[in-house]
Structure 1
Amino acid sequence: MIRDSSTLQKGQLLRVEINEVKDRLPQNILEDIRKEPIVELVGYKMVDGNEFGLVVKLNNGEINWFFEKELSEIM
């Protein structure tokens, strides 16, 4: 889980935590993430009044967004 997304930089690689997203994503996207859980940060998205979403590019080139708790930093 990412605790402070303000320290992240565009282009940074992150890992999708599959157990955090498996209940909300379509099966085809889940399969892509299972094959390659590493994604690239491309931006931010305001998702509600007090939370940001992280916009990422999946390995297949598709753009999607996730909450901070659904991603983790790669050390």
Structure 2
Amino acid sequence: MQVGQKVRIRGFQDKGAPEFANKVGEVGIIKEPKIVDGGKMGYIVAFNDNASTWFFQDELEEVWA
């Protein structure tokens, strides 16, 4: 996955941020990579409503358009 790429949210593991749980199924754009939880790779994803948060790589799927 690369910065600027469109991704669809296919899951959300963070129970501490319920405001982003409704983003499952939405498409956003990767803004930057982020190392999270003991060295796992994640990505900060921005959405059309100007919200952004990070997701684990396995919570994202590439969108080809």
Q: TM-score, normalised by structure 1?
A: 0.68
Higher strand share: 2
Task: State the identity as a percent.
Answer: 30
Higher helix share: 1
Q: Which runs of 5+ in 1 are unaligned?
A: 1-7
RMSD of aligned Cα (Å): 2.0
Residue 30 of structure 1: aligned partner = 21
What is the deviation of 1:58?
A: 1.8
Q: TM-score, normalised by structure 2?
A: 0.77
Q: Which runs of 5+ in 2 are unaligned?
A: none
Aligned length: 63
The 4+ residue runs of structure 1 with deviation greater than 3 A are: none
